[in-house]
Structure 1
Amino acid sequence: MTRPTRLARYGFADNGARATDLLGPEGLRLWDTEAQGPADEAAAGLIDALSKAADPNLALRQLHRLVDAAGRAAERANGNRPAPGGPLVVNAATDELLGALHTDHGLRRRLVAVLGASSTLGDHLVANPDEWQTLATSKSGMPPDAEGRLAVEEERDEPLTVPELRRAYRISLLRIAAADLTGGRGLEPTMAALSRLADETLAAAYAMAVAGLPAATPEPRLAVVAMGKCGGNELNYVSDVDVIFVAAGDDDLSAGTTVAARLIEICGQVAWPVDAALRPEGSRGPLVRTLASHQAYYRRWARTWEFQALLKARPAAGDLALAHEWIADLAPLVWHAAERPEAVADVRDMRRKIIDNVPPKELDREIKRGPGGLRDIEFAVQLLQLVHGRVDETLRAPGTLPALRALVAGGYVGRQDGETLLRGYRFLRGVEHRLQLQHLKRTHTVPDDPDGVRWLAAALGYTAMPGRDAVEAFRSDWVGHAANVRRLHVKLLYQPLLEAVARVPAEELRMTPESARKRLEILGFEDPAGALRHLEALTGGVTRTAAIQRTLLPMLLQDFSDSPEPDRGLLNYRHVSDKLGSTPWYLRLLRDGGPVARRLARVLSLSRYATDLLTRDPEALRLLADDSELRPRPRESLLDGFAAAGDRHPDPVKATAAVRALRRRELFRLACADILRHGGDLAPDRPLDINEIGVALSDVTDATLGAALRIARRAKPAPDGLRFAVIGMGRLGGYEMSYPSDADVLFVYEPQGGSDSSASSAALAIAEELRRLLQAPAPDPALGVDADLRPEGRQGPLVRSLQAYQQYYARWSKVWESQALLRARFICGDASLGTDFEKLADEVRYPSGGLTREQVIEIRRIKARVETERMPRGADPNTHTKLGRGGLADVEWAVQLLQLRYAHEHPDLRRTSTLEALDAELTAGLVEQADAEAMTTGWTLAAEVRNALTLVRGRPTDQLPRHGAELAGTVLLLGGGDPGEFVDRYLRLTRRSRAAMERVLDA
């Protein structure tokens, strides 16, 4: 093994050749070139330490330079003038340094870590070769102070000079960096130490500036307020220090401005630029303002971002009492800023602008301003502080991490989300610190060259692992943290709950009994005392659950108050919370699940139907979190899912319970989609219309009947080869089911070979079992299965063979039965038998030659009799959605009459859906455009009102009330407005629909 190769194993570049020169007899005398190894045990320890530095080669070069500089400085002190360049100067000073590195292991770790991580701090040590001693372990065995205290004498009569302050600052910075790089200080203590060092530097510069005032000038009352990262006690190594200067009064302005300007000049020469651009009017405004001037500006002109900046305001130097007074004076304005209508949007827009201003080529490497960077965390935390900190003073911490912990403790951010953001912040700030330490330059961009990334990974402590090198490990962690930070930034910054809470005044967020009672009265609760008891039950105690409820309820109360019965909304919310409050996901979903909380409030306050479904199945609440869940499931998916649920249990009762539970979940899904479709910002992306609701409800019914038929056939075994099918009629057949609709059906069977004497009784047993299973009392809603449209009605057999149907329709069928068959379609069972029945139905419902005049008259007569006999006693025929004037039945009879008369000539009329058939009749020229539009509008409105009434009342009704809470709720579900005007509109549109129907029937 060659000499260079041996050293290369320690991580030195150039195959170790350069390292041999620096470590060998002509250099540091740590490497024995003859023995090809460390000169002794102490040398081995130092070489090993150098090999573990972020950049072993840099550390070695800098150490060699430092030792040489120490030797040359000693020679000069002794009156000698060593020649420039040449071999390493060796004397007592170099022996002292190397000896200290051999004996003081703490010094060795700290010095080597600094030399290998920061070329600039290394250069500083070379230029000041005696300062390495500031890193030596003290006699007490303690490491050097790294708390951010300026390295100056405790007692000093004269102000510091600029060179003295600069040296003191660099020594303190060196100590902080050494502790940071060797694990002696974590991220937060490091940021706090850097911030304290900034404070002490500002204070020293302030004293120097005041001392420079003319002798006759009195010292002004001037406060230096730290802002930004310094104000938040989270300063990094290289950053502008943001400040605002505040003078007590007008008499302090002139001298205060002189002091402020001189302070900025001194700090720029010593450490970093002082940036006062966050002051009112920015760089265009005066450098120093009085308390009164600040108050006037922030009260009248300040924008949201300026209040956001004030979250980090902290006294730093000068008149600290004045700084505290200034902060307290502006606090009420800060903690009401979120109530401005544009506040939340302003913060979001500002974050977008920051990203837009990042150069595109740097966007993916920016750990501060880019997506998934530090700004994402800071903006999310600050917006939550502005909104929730109005009443929760625990959130009023200037630092990002303390504020984030307070948000988690208060229940405003989930524990897991909070921990993910904490880890992301620590990682990103750690990367930022290492990048800035390298050259002590302000940077937030990960290098794009391989060597730079390799150095960064090493500086962060990454080492090669089996199957993955250090760079890959770093990149993997970086990508993971950035993705999580961006995801949670979007989740927190754009949650609708935030805007809703921000709209509630701070006074109303304070849920004290007295304020709550007053607010309940203002919001229109009829029983404030009862409502207050619900609030106390939900928010009492100091649990995390109670804390989250206290955040949610002020906003929910506002939404409940928008409904006709706010008391019912709150009561329903308590019932749901009582059932789900102990589950780990419930309140987390309401807080973090986008629009879930406000959607739930609308559902609970407007719909007894949906509330009843939810209380039976609280887990269904999750559907409100995702717009895609508020869409009907695909038909094939429904059919397969219901069939699978029924097949899981051999017991018919349990199997049916599983099917009915699935149906309940789907009814809740559709009811919520319906309730929210006119919910403004709560509406899903693609709201459902009444026709989509009808199709979806019909699909759910099809799937329910299909699964129930499979169960019934297992429970009631039939002769081999028995074919059985369920035919949909009425609204089910027309894909026009509403929430209260029963399933109108016919049962048809066919024995094997057409002549099985036991087939009839077996088919009857199957049909009766199907109806029993779906209509039996159970926790889940029953599905009525109505077979009254069968031949001979209730007096006729429940099931018939296909041949029996054929014989009946051929001999005994009446025109109303032909009309009923217009909406017949196969639902489930034997598909070929269903097709055969549809073909049979076609012969009856689309009679060749159409209708005779007598049949048309008969239909008109039946229509008139239905209006007279079936209208409920006391019902208002003008506002009855089903049988009333211009409602569902009127339009359906008109459309069906045209189908019976002309479908044999126009095959496009052969549709089971009312509106599809009406469109076809318009296209065929069988109805006027105006009449088609009037009937479409009347039918659609009546169908919407019928569904809305069921949703509001929780039970079926076809009667639109003329006044009251149910009318108001119905109107809200259908888009809002004045209830009286809605009734007038309903009467007007259905009157036009009625007139159009009469023209069709009389034609």
Structure 2
Amino acid sequence: MAILTHPPEIPINVASIVDAHIDRLAVIDKELHGKTPDHSNLKSLRQVIAGSEFIARNLETTKYLLRDIKASVAPRQPGEITKTIGNLSEDTSTLMSELRQIRKIEITRLGWRDLMGLAPLNEVMLTLSELADASIDAALSCAHQKIREQYGEPIGEVSSEPVQLSVIGLGKLGGRELNMSSDVDLLFSFRESGYTDGSKSISNHEFFVKVGQHLIDLLQRPTDQGIVFRVDMRLRPNGNSGPLALSFDALDHYYLTHGRDWERYALIKARPVGGDMGAGQELIENIRPFIYRKYLDFGAIDAIRRMKSLIEQEQSKKSLTRNLKLGRGGIREIEFVVQSHQLIFGGRDKRLQTPSFYQALQLLPEAQTLSQDTCHQLKQAYEFLRSIEHRLQILDDQQTHSLPTEDVSRARIAFSSGFGSPEALELELVTVTENVHSVFQSVFNEATDGGSEKPDSGFEDLWRSAVTEQAEPEQIAQLGFQEPLQIKSLLEGIPRSRFYQAFSREGRERLDTLMPKILQQCLASEYPDTALTRSIFLIQS
């Protein structure tokens, strides 16, 4: 995996583009400073421009930006961006302009560091996430003030105290894993219902819907300076058809009565990012029992298998072979492996209840749910794919995850990734994604197309025998297991376990349906005994 170890020469079909930008910057530099420009950083500048048309445009249109970057391209310190944005105006039009200008400057600086190989992946993701957090909080403060001027302060009907909105980040924002051109997935909620205290009183729900609408507009309305962040609210209860903001009680009621398994999966990433942070954390603690179950229900296993099947169906229907996120062996498969294990095991091991991909990946071997070697493979692949994804997006500030097909763009991406040709990069991507897909399949002990087929009768017979503690070692060996006595003990231990005894009739029936499939799928793997041992450990967790 290259990623700028020793960058090759700028490709011929890219060099003319770079030269044109260098010439324009030289003219601008001379106009600003009245002297011949300093070419001491010319090699670095050419390398960055080769990798990003977006950065080249920003350097040409933003006074003194190139000078400032040449003077210092050191990483931002934690909290530095937050402090800068916290001092901005609360006037709507002024804030919109200032936030867009700051985004342009910060992504140019960060993109420069990334393209020069100075910024590790974690720095890029954390810096972008801090930029988003601070921008959201500033936009919320401005929006709250604007709506309060019209309707008064929202007051809690029980506490009689002012109420604030809590903004919850989901997805990559929740995990502090934003990329160069991410949406921000948000959820709006408030602690108490009630009414505002102004002369034109409205309900707290109406107030915070208006605040949310204004916040979204501040961040994503296109201007001549672009946007700050695109806002995606589809992960809220009932998606686009649901209320934009809900009280804590309404959210609790929804998840208790209507919450679906995919929402449990999405909420793993929940993190307060703006507004009343303390109340936001309280909300997350309140819904943890919905996300993480102390004892594994088989609905969760079924849901994970359905989600896995949907991923594979989507890959088979769409032309996703060049998509680093959604394609076979892409970023989504890596995240699915990790988050599925969090969902399954997080109820018993609270260390896994983290929105951070990196933290979860580090903890899974300690929790004995994935091997150290598997997690190392996933980490390397994730960092490689995310780094290439950043180069795709910084090229022209586009939200894309697919390798380009046009020759010049292919050459620029390959160059900025440290490869001598597009073909070399694409060959490496095939190797990486095939390895990921192999892990994706093996971790769940399931053949790609075998999940819904009825298992052979021999597996049903074995499970029925195990339930009555009458499984025969010869029967187990004939099916293909290497250690029949050990497998007999494992299988017959399930009906004697406390977790099995606590099952309802429906739960036992679901297990009776599931176990023959698990047996068949484990025998289809390279190491059937190990696969079954892990599967039974998963079921009993």
TM class, shorter-length: 0.7 to 0.9
Residue 366 (structure 1) aligned with residue 301 (structure 2): no
- Equivalences for residues 359-508 of structure 1 within 5 A: 362-463=319-420, 470-494=421-445
- Between 1 and 2, higher relative CO (CA 8 Å, sep ≥ 6) is seen in 2
Q: Is the CA contact 2:58–2:108 (under 8 Å) kept in the aligned structure 1?
A: no
SS in 2 for 1:136: helix
Amino acid at match of 1:242: D
Q: Is the CA contact 1:145–1:175 (under 8 Å) kept in the aligned structure 2?
A: no
Identify the match of residue 680 of structure 1 among 516, 523, 535.
516
SS in 2 for 1:212: helix
Measured at CA, do residues 258 and 109 of structure 1 come closer, stay the same or move farther in structure 2, by a change above 3 Å? farther
Q: CA deviation at 1:410?
A: 2.2
Relative to structure 2, which stretch is displaced further, 354-363 or 597-606? Answer: 597-606
Q: CA deviation at 1:11?
A: 4.5
The 1-side partners of 2:286 and 2:136 are apart by 23
SS in 2 for 1:364: coil
- Equivalences for residues 878-889 of structure 1 within 5 A: none
Amino acid at match of 1:372: G
List per-residue Cα deviations over 1:830-851 (Å, max 9, x = no partner).
xxxxxxxxxxxxxxxxxxxxxx
Measured at CA, do residues 71 and 485 of structure 1 come closer, stay the same or move farther in structure 2, by a change above 3 Å? same
Identify the match of residue 293 of structure 2 among 321, 336, 339.
336
List per-residue Cα deviations over 1:230-253 (Å, max 9, x = no partner).
111111111210000011122232
Residue 235 (structure 1) aligned with residue 192 (structure 2): no
Q: CA deviation at 1:420?
A: 0.9
- Equivalences for residues 257-272 of structure 1 within 5 A: 257-269=209-221, 270-272=227-229
Q: Is the CA contact 2:466–2:488 (under 8 Å) kept in the aligned structure 1?
A: no
What 5-or-longer segments of structure 1 have no aligned partner? 1-8, 15-54, 75-91, 464-469, 497-557, 570-593, 608-678, 688-1003
Measured at CA, do residues 153 and 387 of structure 1 come closer, stay the same or move farther in structure 2, by a change above 3 Å? closer
List per-residue Cα deviations over 1:223-275 (Å, max 9, x = no partner).
01000011111111112100000111222322211111111011103322111
Measured at CA, do residues 384 and 495 of structure 1 come closer, stay the same or move farther in structure 2, by a change above 3 Å? farther
- Equivalences for residues 12-31 of structure 1 within 5 A: 13=12
Q: Is the CA contact 1:225–1:323 (under 8 Å) kept in the aligned structure 2?
A: yes
The 2-side partners of 1:245 and 1:375 are apart by 25
Identify the match of residue 124 of structure 2 among 186, 190, 198.
190
Amino acid at match of 2:182: S
SS in 2 for 1:185: coil
Amino acid at match of 2:356: G
Q: CA deviation at 1:306?
A: 0.3
- Equivalences for residues 533-612 of structure 1 within 5 A: 562-564=467-469, 600-602=486-488
The 2-side partners of 1:114 and 1:595 are apart by 56
What 5-or-longer segments of structure 2 have no aligned partner? 1-7, 155-162, 195-203, 222-226, 448-462, 474-479, 494-514, 524-541
The 1-side partners of 2:481 and 2:251 are apart by 38
The 2-side partners of 1:459 and 1:337 are apart by 46
Q: Is the CA contact 1:226–1:241 (under 8 Å) kept in the aligned structure 2?
A: yes
Q: CA deviation at 1:66?
A: 2.4
Structure 1 residue aligned with 2:509: none
- Equivalences for residues 645-664 of structure 1 within 5 A: none
Measured at CA, do residues 385 and 248 of structure 1 come closer, stay the same or move farther in structure 2, by a change above 3 Å? same
Amino acid at match of 2:243: P
Residue 255 (structure 1) aligned with residue 207 (structure 2): yes
Q: CA deviation at 1:130?
A: 2.0
Amino acid at match of 2:84: V
Q: Is the CA contact 2:342–2:360 (under 8 Å) kept in the aligned structure 1?
A: yes
Q: CA deviation at 1:151?
A: 8.2
The 2-side partners of 1:59 and 1:146 are apart by 31
Q: Is the CA contact 1:228–1:242 (under 8 Å) kept in the aligned structure 2?
A: yes
Residue 69 (structure 1) aligned with residue 34 (structure 2): no
Amino acid at match of 1:411: Q
Q: Is the CA contact 1:152–1:168 (under 8 Å) kept in the aligned structure 2?
A: no
The 2-side partners of 1:155 and 1:71 are apart by 33
Q: CA deviation at 1:335?
A: 0.6
Give the total of aligned pairs. Answer: 448
List per-residue Cα deviations over 1:406-440 (Å, max 9, x = no partner).
11232211121111111111111111111011111
The 2-side partners of 1:359 and 1:132 are apart by 46
Give the structure with higher Rg (CA). Answer: 1
Measured at CA, do residues 414 and 457 of structure 1 come closer, stay the same or move farther in structure 2, by a change above 3 Å? same
Q: Is the CA contact 2:132–2:229 (under 8 Å) kept in the aligned structure 1?
A: no
Q: Is the CA contact 1:134–1:144 (under 8 Å) kept in the aligned structure 2?
A: no
List per-residue Cα deviations over 1:678-732 (Å, max 9, x = no partner).
x833555899xxxxxxxxxxxxxxxxxxxxxxxxxxxxxxxxxxxxxxxxxxxxx
Amino acid at match of 2:171: G
Q: CA deviation at 1:143?
A: 2.1
Identify the match of residue 318 of structure 1 among 250, 275, 299.
275
Q: Is the CA contact 2:411–2:422 (under 8 Å) kept in the aligned structure 1?
A: yes
Structure 2 residue aligned with 1:202: 136
The 2-side partners of 1:598 and 1:337 are apart by 31
The 2-side partners of 1:595 and 1:71 are apart by 77
List per-residue Cα deviations over 1:522-554 (Å, max 9, x = no partner).
xxxxxxxxxxxxxxxxxxxxxxxxxxxxxxxxx
The 2-side partners of 1:680 and 1:153 are apart by 58
Amino acid at match of 2:124: T
Structure 1 residue aligned with 2:84: 152
Structure 1 residue aligned with 2:51: 117
Measured at CA, do residues 11 and 375 of structure 1 come closer, stay the same or move farther in structure 2, by a change above 3 Å? closer
Q: Is the CA contact 2:389–2:401 (under 8 Å) kept in the aligned structure 1?
A: yes
The 2-side partners of 1:316 and 1:596 are apart by 52
Output the TM-score relative to the length of structure 2. 0.75
